[in-house]
Structure 1
Amino acid sequence: MKKIVLTLALALAATPAAAQPTDILNVSYDIARELYASINEAFIPYYAEQTGTQLTVNQSHAGSSTQARAILEGLQADVVTFNQVTDINVLAQNGFVAEDWQSAFPNNASPYYSLPAFLVRAGNPKGIEDWDDLVRDDVAVILPNPKTSGNARYTYLAARAFANDAFGGDDAQVAEFLTSFFGNVPVFETGGRGATTAFVERRLGDVLITFEAEALAIAAQQGSDYEVVVPSVSLLAEFPVAVVDRVAEARGSSEIAQAYLEFLYSTQGQEILAQNFNRVHDEAVVAEYADNFPEVRLVTVEDEFGGWDRASEEHFAEGGLLDQVFLNQ
């Protein structure tokens, strides 16, 4: 992994302390509350030790696309830590984020990654092992709405990738598979945490589909009540980050925002990410936490669907393939 040298001391020298605020806002995706609370708990004393400045890092969480729209409408985000490239691209297209934002940090500005996985109840009573089990008449599936949640868009694409492979790219069979799959969803929540609440607290459904990190965290917290099932194939889910330049430059928080995101790539940051069940890039940390993450064949949006721009136009735009699936319900 390309190493980043944290530049806090230089930043402090270059920008008078009085010109900088002592708070930033991290606008993030729905299920990342606990993750970034842990990141903040480590970053704030680190920053204080390096600069003498005591920061407050505020958090905002909702569906990734909902958050992008909120920023366009005035939410003053200094940084974004999203779960989908397209939501940062929207900000870049509207002048909030640099057009070359993916080159600002290593790994296409994605410090960690995950994949759609299944959370089932103890003993896996429905015997759910792979995507084809989710179209059975006796299985109720819980996930958020792909119209409002990046989490669910990954799930939709992962299910379609499985069907493409299973049916040799036969469009009619793939469409029938996805119609059955979404027909087994009793209610669509707006974001990933709402789906988790529906499954865990309201006891709806037989399986929750969410990021592996969320599924592993629930299983760890709830003891023997749940099990995590990683399917045979899934989709690489990158978690891109960016400084919201329009806001940060206006507030004088650019140096702090940069340092905050750089911290995610530090060994300490990668440790925290892995402890919260995210897959990371730091080789030493990967080796340390290897037992938490089973092998899985991951396909990418680029290889399977021609990239996010094409996938957005073909699948998620009004009248696209996702709408066609919903119309067939």
Structure 2
Amino acid sequence: MNRRTFLTAASAAALSAGGGCTGSRYDFELLNVSYDPTRELYRRMNRLFAEHYAAQTGKRVRVRQSHGGSGSQARSVIDGIPADVVTLAMWADINNIRSKKLIADNWESRLPNNALPYYSTIVFTVRKGNPHGIEQWTDLVDKPGVKIITANPKTGGGAKLNLLGAWLAVRHGGGSVGDARKFITEMYRRVPVLDTGARGATVTFARKNIGDVHLTWENEAWLEKRELKDEIEIVYPKVSIRAEPHVALVDANADRKGTRAPAEEYLRFLYTNAAQELIAETFFRPGNPDVATRHAGRFPPIDLIRATAPSSGLGGWDKIQSDFFSEGGLFDQIYQSAR
């Protein structure tokens, strides 16, 4: 994929379902509703799975995709988009679908590693030469005049992680809750535009050339680097948030459509060696330790903090969602004052 192709695809708001299907050519058609930065991963994964499923069962399966901000995608499933599986950025987004009785209560325990086939983190991309000298989270507000690109945490999972990553970095460095609040208030004062999802923010930074530093998923940073080559640099802060995008079967839809068997196999396939190798190749961090070891050179060392770790003081995801991202929550409060 050349730069023009990537940026054109990235800016197309409708890159959601991936085209139609005659129906007669396939025994099953699945819909995977995912978050923004997984387009390239699942485009390749779906081909691998179709070959695997045909060899295993003799059946032809096609997997279609829908992409967008993770929170928006969860709401679309609740509102009726017929997802067979969801592969979303945030545990809370899948649990929100579960709360509407579309996903079984035991969804985490049905797959290895609590339904987490890979993990990721948030890093920075900066312009060539890193003119503002951005190295750590503190530099985002300590360096004068820096404009920051991030998406809207009300709609995007990666954007939630950006905010929480900044919060945790301040607290990890010994700052108080008040210091963390002050930091993210100033951080959002430097954000010129809030896109709805991670890929939109990538386009804003890479194609529209807006901003000095982009807070983004690790794999998204490497996509930018590959497409823009020497025009940008990737900065790994010493500490960042551990991103854990879970996956789940949407039981109500799969049972209604008669696709439970291939949908369950699709999710199990994500843990196979072939799938884990592809996960590493596309700069997501594989859950399989052997595959992770083979690809260790792709992933610079970084201290990753779980937002839900007891030491964070934030509580579980339900509390984090309520405290930070609900109507009138902390983001609404600081964004009002940041403006």
Equivalent of 1:317 in 308, 326, 329 = 326
Equivalent of 1:108 in 102, 105, 114 = 114
Question: Where does 1:201-212 land on structure 2 (aligned, <5 Å)?
Answer: 201-212=207-218
Query: Residue type of the partner of 1:202?
Result: K
Equivalent of 1:225 in 216, 221, 231 = 231
Alpha carbons 1:21, 1:252 under 8 Å: kept: no
Give the match's secondary structure for 2:321: helix
Question: Where does 1:14-93 land on structure 2 (aligned, <5 Å)?
Answer: 21-93=27-99
Using the TM superposition, give the Cα deviation of residue 204 of structure 1 relative to its aligned residue in structure 2, in angstroms.
0.4
Using the TM superposition, give the Cα deviation of residue 150 of structure 1 relative to its aligned residue in structure 2, in angstroms.
0.6
Query: Residue type of the partner of 1:298?
Result: L
Query: Hey, what's the Cα distance between the residues in 2 that align with 1:217 and 1:113?
Result: 17
Query: Hey, what's the Cα distance between the residues in 2 that align with 1:194 and 1:139?
Result: 20
Q: Give the gaps of 5 or more residues in structure 2.
A: 1-23
Greater displacement, 34-43 / 214-223? 214-223
Equivalent of 1:265 in 253, 271, 275 = 271
Alpha carbons 1:65, 1:150 under 8 Å: kept: yes
Alpha carbons 2:135, 2:235 under 8 Å: kept: yes
Alpha carbons 2:92, 2:317 under 8 Å: kept: yes
Question: Where does 1:108-187 land on structure 2 (aligned, <5 Å)?
Answer: 108-135=114-141, 136-169=143-176, 171-187=177-193
Using the TM superposition, give the Cα deviation of residue 172 of structure 1 relative to its aligned residue in structure 2, in angstroms.
2.8
Percent identity between the two aligned chains: 42
Query: Hey, what's the Cα distance between the residues in 2 that align with 1:21 and 1:65?
Result: 31
Query: Hey, what's the Cα distance between the residues in 2 that align with 1:127 and 1:118?
Result: 12
How many corresponding residue pairs? 310
User: So what's the TM-score if we normalise by structure 2?
Assistant: 0.89
Deviations 1:203-223 (A, max 9, x none): 000111111111122213332
Alpha carbons 1:117, 1:229 under 8 Å: kept: yes
Aligned to 1:326: 335
Greater displacement, 130-139 / 262-271? 130-139
Aligned to 2:17: none
Deviations 1:55-103 (A, max 9, x none): 1111000111111111111100000011100000011111010111111
Give the match's secondary structure for 1:260: helix
Give the match's secondary structure for 2:271: coil
Using the TM superposition, give the Cα deviation of residue 315 of structure 1 relative to its aligned residue in structure 2, in angstroms.
1.1
Query: Hey, what's the Cα distance between the residues in 1 that align with 2:27 and 2:74?
Result: 23
* Alpha-carbon RMSD: 1.4
Using the TM superposition, give the Cα deviation of residue 21 of structure 1 relative to its aligned residue in structure 2, in angstroms.
4.8
Query: Hey, what's the Cα distance between the residues in 1 that align with 2:280 and 2:220?
Result: 12
Aligned to 1:11: none
